[in-house]
Amino acid sequence: MREAFDMMAFVDAAYLLTGVTTLAVVGWCWLAMRRAERRREESRKP
């Protein structure tokens, strides 16, 4: 017997996973960069 799939549920899952993962990586890299550059500025202070 052929299984019936709601294709859009799989499409939604793929889009959600991609959106969340991409934004998480971009946000994490941005925050890490800001933190590291702030630390470098602080290390310049006498």
CA-to-CA dists, residue 42 to 17, 23, 32, 35, 37, angstroms? 37, 28, 15, 11, 9
Q: 25 — phi, psi (to 5°)?
A: -65, -45
CB of 25 to another protein, least distance (A): 5
CB of 31 to another protein, least distance (A): 10
CB of 11 to another protein, least distance (A): 5
Residues that bind another protein (CB under 8 A): 3, 5, 7-8, 10-11, 13-15, 17-19, 21-22, 25-26, 29-30, 32-33, 36-37, 39-40, 42-44
